[in-house]
A and B are shown apart, each in its own frame.
Chain A
Amino acid sequence: MKNLFLVPLIFVLSGCFFGTAPVKRSFPEVPKELMESCPDLKLVEKTEKLSDVLKVVTENYSQYHECRIKADTWMEWYKTQKQIFDSVK
C-alpha cells in the first residue's frame, strides 16, 4: 500500500515533459518589384557619332540609378521587416 504512492509520483514528474506551443509564423513576402534582377548595361552600336554613344551611356547611368534604388529598397525592406519581426515576443 505504501508503494502505491510511488506510482502517482512518477506520473506527476512525467507530466513536466509534455506540451508545445502550436504557433506558426510565416516569412514576410518580398515585393515582386524587388525580385527582378537588374538588366545588363546597354552596348553601343558601331557608330562615329558621339551623340549615339552619349545616349547609351546616359541610359546606362539611368539604369545604375534604378538599380541603386532597388538595392537601397532591399536594405530598407530588411530593416523594416526585421523591426516588425522582432517586435513580436
Chain B
Amino acid sequence: MFLLNFIPDAFLALVVNAVLIAGLVGTVASILFKLVIRYIPWFIPYRTLLQAVSVLLLVAGVYFKGGIGVEMEWRAKVKDLEEKIAKSEAESKAANQNIVTVYKDRVKVVKEQQVVIQEKIKEVEVKIDSQCTITAETIDILNNSAKGPQK
C-alpha cells in the first residue's frame, strides 16, 4: 500500500477498473459458457481455467476498487492535513515575529528607564555620598547575595 503513494490516481483507477471489468466479463462468460462455446468452440478445454482466473480477477478487482476508494480518501485526508499544517506553520511564524516584537519593545522600555535612573543617581551623587559611607562588609554582603547559590 505504501508504494501506491507513488502511482498517479488516474493510472491506479485505470488498472483497477481494467481488472474488475476483465473479472466480470470472464465470470459472466464462464456462467454462460454454453453460449460462449457456440462462437469459440476451441475454448471448451479451458472452462475451469476461465472460471478460476475470472473469479480471482473479479475478487481482486472488487478488493482493489474498495482499496482505491480508501486510498483516495486517505490521500484527501493527507492533503487536507498538509494544508492545515502549512497554515499553522505560517501562523506560528507570524506569532513568533509578534512575540519577539513585543519582547523587544518591553526590554527597550526597561533599558530606557535604567538610563533615566542612572542619570538621576548622577544628579544626586554628591548629596548621597556626603551623607553615607559604605563599609567593606556591606559590599561583601551585597555581592554574596548577588552571586546567589554557587554552582
Shortest distance between the CB of A50 and any CB in chain B (Å): 4
Number of A-B contacts (CB under 8 A): 145
Interface residues on A, range: 35 or more
Using a CB–CB distance below 8 Å, which chain A residues touch chain B? Answer: 1, 4-5, 7-8, 11-12, 15, 18-23, 25-26, 28-29, 31, 33-34, 40-44, 46-55, 57-60, 62, 65-66, 69-70, 73, 76-77, 80-81, 84-85, 87-89
A34 to B132, CA, bound (A): 40
Q: Which residues of A contact B146 (CB under 8 A)?
A: 40-44, 60
Tell me the interface secondary structure of chain B in the complex: helix
Using a CB–CB distance below 8 Å, which chain B residues touch chain A? Answer: 1-2, 5, 48, 51-52, 55-56, 59-60, 63, 66-67, 70-71, 74, 77-78, 81-82, 84-85, 88-89, 91-93, 95-96, 99-100, 102-104, 106-107, 110-111, 113-114, 117-118, 121, 124-125, 128-129, 131-136, 138-139, 142-143, 146-148
* Beta-carbon contact of B63 and A15 below 8 Å: yes
List the A residue with the shortest CB-CB distance to B133.
A48
* Beta-carbon contact of A54 and B121 below 8 Å: yes
Q: Which residues of A contact B88 (CB under 8 A)?
A: 84-85, 87-88
Most buried by B among A54, A60, A70: A54
Known: A48-B134, A50-B132. A80 touches B81 (CB 8 A): no
* Beta-carbon contact of A57 and B107 below 8 Å: no
Task: Identify which of A20, A66, A84 contacts B110 (C-beta below 8 A).
Answer: A66
With A18-B2, A22-B5, A80-B95 known, 12 other A-B pairs at CB within 8 A are A12-B63, A19-B71, A29-B93, A41-B146, A48-B135, A58-B121, A59-B114, A69-B107, A70-B103, A76-B99, A77-B99, A84-B91
